[in-house]
Structure 1
């Protein structure tokens, strides 16, 4: 890696933890070395190659409910979705704004989906999805993000609601019934999400991404989920009558069928598909931090760290991407082969949180903020 480009505070404000350094998931997506940073009040575009470049800020059509300058606590923004539509590569981001009423018409909140052309850093179109009255003062009032894409539709989350937006017409075409937790995922033609139920718990459900209608419902109570492959999700659930029996479940995204119930104490709940062959999960197994890789087809454990012989420790994972695992071990960056768990590079320079082959984003050397480092070669 060469000399880095410092990123603006929108990339890390309300994201970096004061103790331990590891961040909440960053609201940053990369495209050919350009960082697109979602904010609760817009979107920043920053060239990761040019140290002197200034951010270009894309603003919403209406007044944002939460401004970055007034942020107290966590930043609710999540990474934009980079996707192609209408002959352009777009950065799709979402935020909650307030539409001011005219005359005696009541003001109301909406989720704005903004489409930014990555080539010109300009907004090409936007659309609004209205939110029901109430909840303006709740802790999740400004939560919004782009969940993913299925065909010509993109799924948008906003304050407990899920919407389907057509990328051709730029219109909202469906609204899913019920209220949902943050953290839904589009897997194939399914939208998998955590929906609240009358008992006060949440259940993992599978919806049709094309219409938002119910397809399947897990019989257990759910606590979280992650994409585990091109057709699978890894959930963290427990039987409704025994909250102590919490464990990961590998589910078929299309049908909700359980491919495997992982043993209690398996590393969880943070999992990610490496884009090639394995699902990598991190968390605590017993009293130690652990990392394990699973076959997404059947949930079979392929390898785990720490190893049984006690010769190798588990890294603190920062990124799983393109068959590789990036992280920190013994206080230094390291790269592992995701398929085997073996060390692939012991002096990579940085442990990126986001990378695209052009640049990688990591903490600055003094730990104050984030920097984009250009890839060598």
Structure 2
């Protein structure tokens, strides 16, 4: 039996109301960061002129729930679902596969089972009209041949769940070390490429394996058994080598384009927006924004620790963290120039740093004494009376909040306007 779901959250009891408050707090503490790959064009304002939502109702308009993998240590909701315009996509660990939920009512739009699929991690990725998932598989051996661990990568039509292609990638013998504990992640996907990385969480003696595939056909372009992919860009896949160095590999042929020893400890690398890779845990400086194409440092935060960044889909990424004294801070960075546009707090104007939950198309969603919105380019308050809901994921018509304690996603339809057809 696959994912259980609830069609509506209206009229829920006081316990669920308190959980919703917990979700808001979690959204402040663990805001959504970029997922890697699949960025819309940075000049997409003309192509997508619809204004982002600026307010949400107090009660969710739909809710869905399922047996999906636990999110990472930051409880990032993007580790649970991939958000489309009208559907959200998540793995199912019960009836192993991918399920698409309707944002308007929480119903299941489709569910596709992955044959022989085993362990999954984080969430599938959405690239245009294609949803891509990766599943750990085990092929039974015979005679003197041991079982083989592998990865099954599956591409599906986003609207129907129809399988477009399936690709099997062998990783190693289950009997070798802890190879069987490695779990594949779809690091990123765009119109041309899919980057998959298989690794074991935490310390492991088993080297990671990454594979780059063609999004349209599933053809394997290259594999690397000494590379943990963390970010996919148009021409470069960025990852961490087994020796701890950060490196960039060409998406066309897998050749190494650059390599840097950043004196990384427990590296935390993510995608803060197009052309940039976020790297933390360095002893060579503060949090770094790395040029994905060249490996050069575009921004060093110094004694400020930027915990995560929220790309707004256009030109700006909003990074939240703490300064050298441990006080909350927010930086807005232009993804093209890496210039810091504004910072909060600002003592000269008596403004504090709010908790950032998400950003979308020029709007920052945040929470201080209540939910509010800011302008991504100026930091100016837009609305300070949007209610109690500050979404941790947002698109043009909906805001989502992931309730980690209940493993539930509440969906809030934008209070103004509606989702266009």
TM-score range, shorter chain: 0.7 to 0.9
Please say if residues 150 and 189 of structure 1, whose CA atoms lie closer than 8 Å, have aligned partners that are also in contact: no
TM-score, length-scaled by structure 2: 0.72
Provide the rounded CA distance (Å) in 2 between the counterparts of 1:153 and 1:320: 25
TM-score, length-scaled by structure 1: 0.80
Q: 1:26 aligns with which of 50, 70, 79?
A: 79
CA gap 1:140/1:97 in 2 versus in 1, 3 angstroms: closer
Please say if residues 236 and 246 of structure 1, whose CA atoms lie closer than 8 Å, have aligned partners that are also in contact: no
Provide the rounded CA distance (Å) in 1 between the counterparts of 2:63 and 2:151: 30
Partner residue in 1 for 2:27: none
> How far is 1:289 from its partner?
2.0
Partner residue in 2 for 1:314: 353
Secondary structure at 2:67's aligned position in 1?
A: helix
Provide the rounded CA distance (Å) in 1 between the counterparts of 2:233 and 2:293: 8
- Number of residue pairs the alignment of both structures matches: 345
Could you tell me which runs of 5 or more consecutive residues in structure 1 were left unpaired when the two chains were aligned.
66-75
> How far is 1:341 from its partner?
1.4
Secondary structure at 2:238's aligned position in 1?
A: strand
Please say if residues 29 and 354 of structure 1, whose CA atoms lie closer than 8 Å, have aligned partners that are also in contact: no
Provide the rounded CA distance (Å) in 1 between the counterparts of 2:78 and 2:89: 14
Higher helix share: 2
Larger displacement relative to structure 2 (202-211 or 39-48): 39-48
Secondary structure at 1:64's aligned position in 2?
A: coil
Secondary structure at 1:132's aligned position in 2?
A: strand
Is 1:80 aligned to residue 120 of structure 2?
no
Q: 2:390 aligns with which of 351, 359, 365?
A: 351
> How far is 1:83 from its partner?
1.7
Provide the rounded CA distance (Å) in 1 between the counterparts of 2:330 and 2:180: 31
Partner residue in 2 for 1:278: 316
Larger displacement relative to structure 2 (161-170 or 267-276): 267-276
Larger displacement relative to structure 2 (339-348 or 139-148): 139-148
> How far is 1:56 from its partner?
3.6
Please say if residues 26 and 353 of structure 1, whose CA atoms lie closer than 8 Å, have aligned partners that are also in contact: no
Is 1:360 aligned to residue 360 of structure 2?
no
Please say if residues 173 and 179 of structure 2, whose CA atoms lie closer than 8 Å, have aligned partners that are also in contact: no
Partner residue in 1 for 2:67: 10
Please say if residues 188 and 196 of structure 2, whose CA atoms lie closer than 8 Å, have aligned partners that are also in contact: yes
Partner residue in 1 for 2:242: 196
> How far is 1:195 from its partner?
1.8
Greater relative CO, 1 or 2 (CA 8 Å, sep 6+): 2
Please say if residues 283 and 291 of structure 1, whose CA atoms lie closer than 8 Å, have aligned partners that are also in contact: yes
The aligned runs of 1:1-377 (5 Å cut-off) are 1=56, 3-10=60-67, 14-15=70-71, 23=76, 25-40=78-93, 41-51=96-106, 53-54=107-108, 56-65=110-119, 77-84=121-128, 89-101=129-141, 105-133=145-173, 141-149=181-189, 152-159=192-199, 160-180=208-228, 184-197=230-243, 202-222=244-264, 223-236=267-280, 238=282, 243=283, 245-263=284-302, 265-285=303-323, 286-309=325-348, 311-330=350-369, 332-349=370-387, 350-363=389-402, 369-376=408-415, 377=417
CA gap 1:60/1:101 in 2 versus in 1, 3 angstroms: farther
CA gap 1:7/1:347 in 2 versus in 1, 3 angstroms: farther
Partner residue in 2 for 1:72: none
Provide the rounded CA distance (Å) in 1 between the counterparts of 2:413 and 2:391: 11
Aligned-CA RMSD value: 3.1
> How far is 1:290 from its partner?
1.6
CA gap 1:293/1:42 in 2 versus in 1, 3 angstroms: same
Residue-by-residue CA offset, 1:69-118 (whole Å, 9 max, x unaligned)? xxxxxxx622322224xxxx111111212223356543222111121212
Please say if residues 235 and 249 of structure 1, whose CA atoms lie closer than 8 Å, have aligned partners that are also in contact: yes
> How far is 1:7 from its partner?
0.9
